[in-house]
Amino acid sequence: MGDDAATIEDYYHEGRTFAPSAEFVASAVVNDPAIYEQAEADFEGFWADQARSLVSWEEPFHTTLEWDLPYAKWFVGGKLNVSYNCLDRHVEAGLGDRVAYYFEGEPGDTQTITYSELLSEVSRFANALKRLGVNSGDRVCIYMPMIPRTVIAMLACARIGAVHSVIFGGFSPDSIADRINDAAAVVVITADGGYRRGVPLMLKPNVDEALKSTNTVRSVVVADRCGGNVDMQSGRDHWWDELVSAESDDCPPVFVDSEHLLFLLYTSGTTASPKGIMHTTGGYLTQVAWTYRAVFDLRAESDVYWCAADVGWVTGHSYIVYGPLCNGATSVIYEGTPDTPREQDRSGDPGTWAKDRLWSIIERYGVTQLYTAPTAIRTFMKWGETWPDAHDLSSLRLLGTVGEPINPEAWMWYHEHIGAQRCPIVDTWWQTETGGQMLTPLPGITVTKPGSVCAALPGIGVELVDDDGNVVTEGGGYLTLTTPWPGMLRGIWGDPQRYEDTYWSRYEGRYFAGDGAKIDSDGYLWILGRTDDVMNVSGHRISTSEVESALVDHEAVVEAAVVGAIDETTGQAIVGYVILRGDVESSDALRGEIRAHVSKKLGAIARPRVVIVVPDLPKTRSGKIMRRLLRDVVEGRELGDTTTLADEDVVDEIRDRAESDDSDDE
């Protein structure tokens, strides 16, 4: 591809492969490779089969798909209820005593919730919402910690046909107000607070502040999680327990049209207000039900599954709540951070945190599938193998990753130290907009490569293209989706033009995902990250993901982030921020060695101008690295919006370190 700026250049090559064991293949939920050809020959028929086999319909659909680009209607004519599919039908089938969730709070409190108990609590809360005047189609905002009542609130909305909009618990009052106003929400469900790194993080005061800038909210429901010491406005605010105490646990589900709006989930826009992504009922539920069952190789009668994400993000919606519950699975919910010990385990210096909470949870509950983020895996690498090695992780039989692309060395660490070289790894690519997983291995079929998402799932149409829309069959390009899929967004709330402009205007007839990717000579797909994370160095378009993978490939580096800084000569220069392993000291010689290592792996054009050793990276509470803040630091600008940062002090530390490490600059 040379100097062609229309595509993304391909430097990193991975030759290691890992096939699932014969034993795993023999018992896998999906183990026949013919499924790919069958789905490609008739993708509508493939999804219709999944809808009929995995979802219960009050009225059957008569048309699988109506497609008027860019608008889709799936399973037209069908009526269903998501809450019924997630709860009632399992209880009716005699599975009411099956555990739906094992909950562990950060302080160490625990709760075991069966499907019967969950149905009862959801029905009571749904009746309470109706008493507050919530009707089908009304929007309800949920701003909660990671506790079971968050799931109950979501399912209660779905039960009566209300539309939920979950707001991540780390967002500020201004962000809450923006989402309430855009959705014209009538009720907010919150908690006094939730626990985070050993202390209560208060939520209700943020809601009170946000509501000063809104005028549609009639009622606020408050769950008591941290002792209830918050202000309550008479007539507007209601304690959860008091509200449901007199309610019946009989609440018949409202069966809605397949295209009835199930939820809004707001995702950041680059230059404008957050986008209210719209997901409807029948298509979304079908896709998350099938992908959950197939990708995680579900054995519902014996598995204990754990998605270590937050319900406030789409990962939590699809693979903590709706996918698992629709399949009758047993899941784990954990409230806190990976380095917060249980109350009974705390001793000594209160500033010292145990770094084995996740491994302890896996051991105690017998977790069989773990789904977590590459950022978390790299953090575990930094902490070292001592922590997981102290626990019995033999119950694990499958591992998954979600979020940013995973670099090969983190994939290998996960494979060796958590999966004991026996657990298939499913590295998944999807978005808030796609609703469910799109690109990922199928563990009973796919021979995997470390760091690759491998291929599109059956029934999903994917192609890479160059700037002119020509299909790229090998090398780097832009990831596009070529056929409608059941879980696809149905638009942006209140702004259809923005929907068309954002996703459908760049390439005719194609959904442009906003991500760069590459396809190797074996046909494997690799996600290269957001296209705005592609650097242009002397006319070469270089992916941050590939340079980061090369940096982490160095034995001293555990995590890295790369940005392109303005350079008068080359247009942009590569700046690498690295976190070293715990026992490694920074030095000029080491930083030079790391830069040379990148040059050896990728070529001289990808050699960082400077490598800066940092104690941590600026991340959101969901674990995504905020590279734009790193660009602000290296270019000497004032910082942009930092409201979603998990730790605002990190940027100051990075700025100080960047000034001291700038001696590497050539």
Residue 644 falls inside a structural domain:
yes
Q: How confident is the model at residue 645 (pLDDT cuts 50, 70, 90)?
A: low
In the predicted structure, residue 277 carries a pLDDT above the cut 50 = yes
**What number of residues does the chain have?**
666
| Residue range 27-53: mean pLDDT, rounded | 98
Task: Give the residue numbers spanning the domain of 634.
Answer: 554-664
Q: 178-200: per-residue pLDDT in tens? A: 999 999 999 999 999 999 888 89
Q: What is the mean pLDDT of the chain?
A: 91
Antiparallel, parallel or unpaired: β 305-307 and 331-334: parallel
pLDDT in tens, 285-335: 999 999 999 999 999 999 999 999 999 999 999 999 999 999 999 999 999
Between residues 545 and 557, which one has the greater pLDDT? 557
Distances (CA, A) of 283 to 40, 279, 486, 569, 611: 18, 9, 4, 51, 46
Helix, strand, or coil (residue 630): helix
352 pLDDT tier (thresholds 50, 70, 90): low
3-state secondary structure 318-380: HHHHHHHHHCCCCEEEECCCCCCCCHHHCCCCCCCCCCCHHHHHHHHHCCCEEEECHHHHHHH
pLDDT of 652 above 60: yes
Better pLDDT: 345 or 330: 330
CATH number of domain containing 659: 3.30.300.30
Considering only residues 2 and 450, tell me which one the structure prediction assigns the higher pLDDT: 450
Question: Which of 158-162, 406-410, 600-604 is least confident?
Answer: 600-604
Rounded to the nearest angstrom, the gap between the alpha carbon of residue 82 and the centroid of all alpha carbons in its chain is 21
| The pair of three-digit structure tokens given for residue 12, joined into one six-digit string | 């990193």
pLDDT value at position 262?
98
- Residue 596, in any domain of the structure: yes
pLDDT of residue 358 exceeding 50, the answer is yes
pLDDT in tens, 54-77: 999 999 999 999 999 999 999 999
pLDDT of amino acid 529? 79
Please state, for a pLDDT cut of 70, what percent of the chain lies above it: 90
pLDDT at 599 over 60: yes
- Eight-class DSSP state of 620: B
Our CA angle for 558, 562, 566, nearest 5°, is 155
Closest CA to 129 of 151, 148, 155: 155
Q: Which whole-number Å values give the CA distances from 122 to 83, 88, 115, in the listed order?
A: 9, 11, 10
The whole-number pLDDT of residue 570 equals 67
Q: At 171, is the pLDDT very low, low, confident or very high (cuts 50, 70, 90)?
A: confident
Residues 507-533: what's their mean pLDDT? 90
Q: Does a structural domain hold residue 325? A: no
* Residue 647 within any structural domain of the chain: yes
Lowest mean pLDDT among 123-127, 452-456, 651-655: 651-655
Task: Express each pLDDT in 108-124 by its tens digit.
Answer: 999 999 999 999 999 99
Q: Could you write out the DSSP letters of every residue in 17-47?
A: -BPPPHHHHHH-SS--THHHHHHHH-HHHHH
Q: How many C-alpha atoms does 481 have within 13 Å on its Cβ side?
A: 28
CA 596 distance to own-chain centroid: 34
Residue 187 lies in a domain: no
> Is residue 653 included in any domain, yes or no?
yes
pLDDT in tens, 386-402: 999 999 999 999 999 99
What is the predicted pLDDT for the residue at 665?
44
316 alpha-carbon distance from chain centroid = 7
pLDDT of residue 582: 80
- Domain-located, residue 578: yes
Q: In which element (H, E) is residue 592 found? A: helix 588-602
Model confidence band, residue 622 (pLDDT cutoffs 50, 70, 90): low
pLDDT in tens, 217-267: 999 999 999 998 999 999 999 999 999 999 999 999 999 999 999 999 998
> Residue 592 — pLDDT band, cuts 50, 70, 90?
very high
Beta carbons within 10 angstroms of residue 30's beta carbon: 17
C-alpha span between 640 and 462 (Å, rounded): 34
Q: What is the pLDDT of residue 583?
A: 82
Report residue 643's pLDDT band, with 50, 70 and 90 as the boundaries: low
Task: Name the residue type at position 106.
Answer: E
Position 270 scores a pLDDT of 46
User: How many domains does the chain divide into?
Assistant: 1
Whole-number Å distance between alpha carbons of 7 and 466: 5
Q: Is residue 562 part of a domain?
A: yes
Tokens found for residue 437: 């997983």
Q: Can you give the pLDDT at residue 403?
A: 85
Name which of 28-37, 103-112, 607-616 the model is least confident about.
607-616
Q: Please state the rounded mean pLDDT for residues 500-522.
A: 94
| Structure token pair of residue 592 | 């030079």
